[in-house]
Amino acid sequence: MKKILVANRGEIALRVMRSCREMGIQTVAIYSEADRFSPHVKYADEAVCIGPAPSNQSYLKGDKIIAICKELGVDGIHPGYGFLSENADFARAVTKAGITFIGPSPEAMEIMGDKLSSKAAVKKYKIPLVPGSEGAIADVSQALKVGKEIGFPILIKASAGGGGKGMRIVEKPEEFEENLKRAVSEAESAFGDGSVFLERYLKISKHIEIQVLCDTHGNYLYLFERECSIQRRHQKVMEEAPSAVLTPEIRKQMGEHAVNVARSCNYTGAGTVEFIYTDGEYYFLEMNTRLQVEHPVTEMITGIDLVREQIKVARGEALSFKQEDLTMNGHAIEVRVYAEDPANNFLPDIGTLQVYKKPTGEGIRVDDGFEEGMNIPIYYDPMIAKLVVHAENREAAIAKMQKAIDDFRIIGVETTLDFCQFVLAHDEFKSGKFNTHFVKEHFKPEYLTPPVDQATDEMAAIVAAVALQQKENELVTAGTEVVKPSSWKNRLLD
């Protein structure tokens, strides 16, 4: 494999290209008109504009991507995550065109892409499942009967897709019919598939996922777990590895169950098996048949480059290590830096990165796809960067992340950095006992809104910081050495 096209954008495109470059593989970037000046476009060996800004006219044009590959002599496609990464039809078309798809088979995607078929597949391996309906629910009266048998509260979930779409928590039987109709409607709108099923709703739970890596030679390995319980709108915003609550025995059990999930669909490449965990018990949720956003924390504690391993597996190579070779080294935490306003229900806050300075230092990693002066496009996910730290233990990792956030200077848009700082300082998070309801139970928007006098002082500091930055740029241009101040305000607050 000598040339790989990355069918994605932003930070994940850059991250894949870096591993390709280290492996001596040439890269091709695709970009929409909105991403013309993005770093991933400049980093690639070749770049092709694929269409207008909307993703359905650019990054989702699978036939056009394949045509570009044929024209440029590309022999592999890495889909990153999102967009076409879990599209079985695209993977099948890529293979049919004689190009290697760097990911699992279309058949594995189809089995694990539907929550009902995935549950059916793993049953023979005796994977623990959340009590729920056997199949899709259509009839309201029959669904209500099943719901009462399961026991309220229950969770209505879309069979296809994820990200909280087509999902409803129902506390009482009298609220069931309306929520069922809404879940079906939302699932049809989001995924083109209105089928839903029921599960018992576990109020106090953690979201634990296991990274798996599998080759075409029958090797199935797990690279330990990630804790992903800090979420808003059922979507993750902070992750860490390992979890603070798993015992070595539970970790081994979950890992073995995760690789059996992979076996159930003949999985190859890197994938993630998700579980609900509560009070020492856990249940299979789903498998994500792609690289996860939060994969860097696993890389930090294992020293394994997951993208490199994906490419090697796609080339037909056997994994060069065994389960007993894998060990956990220290602790890693990742925060997703979104252009969102946590004080306004985490709504996107699109704008220009007037100041964008990343923290640096040992054990600090920033995966991003932006530069200072760039606009955050309205067409895509508003994630600016992933800030990751690694330290010898969890306490040290928390302290390092707090310092790194303080050193991350962003002016021009609201971000989730202050929210993440709030989480890191909270006793519930420090204890490791937090669950997926942390935001609902512990966070209020006013916690991030400073008093009027403080806000005025901070605004003055921001104005001074921008002026100082402009002066610094002028001095650098003139060849003058710049001595930076020890601190300055890094984010715009209300």
Q: Which of 328, 331, 268 is nearest to 302 (CA)?
A: 328
As beta bridge partners, residue 28 has: 5, 46
Q: Which of 109, 7, 2, 9 is nearest to 66 (CA)?
A: 7
Report CA Rg, the chain. 23
Which residues in 159-219 belong to E strands, given as ranges?
168-170, 196-200, 206-214
Cβ within 8 Å of residue 172, ≥6 positions away: 152
With beta carbons less than 8 A apart as the criterion, state whether 27 and 21 touch. Answer: yes
Exposure string over 468-484, b if 16+ CB within 10 A, otherwise e: ebeeeeeeeeeeeeeee
In sequence order, what DSSP letters do the residues of 340-378 get, joined into one string?
A: EEGGGTTEE---B-SEEE---STTEEEEE---TT-B--T
> Which DSSP category does 53 fall into?
S
Cβ within 8 Å of residue 329, ≥6 positions away: 301, 302, 303
Q: How far is CA 33 from the centre of its chain?
A: 24
Looking up tokens 């809104």, which residue turns up? 449
Q: What angle do CA 244, 240, 494 make, to 5 degrees?
A: 115
Write the single-letter amino acid at 309.
E
With beta carbons less than 8 A apart as the criterion, state whether 295 and 9 touch. Answer: no
The runs of H, that is alpha helices, within 114-247 are 115-122, 140-150, 176-191
Catalytic residues: 290
CA–CA separation, 398 vs 50, rounded Å? Answer: 41
With beta carbons less than 8 A apart as the criterion, state whether 252 and 282 touch. Answer: no
Q: How far is CA 423 from the centre of its chain?
A: 18
Q: Which of 272, 227, 218, 269 is nearest to 250 (CA)?
A: 227
Q: Which of 424, 119, 420, 99 is nearest to 286 (CA)?
A: 119
Q: Which of 236, 231, 225, 323 is nearest to 275 (CA)?
A: 225
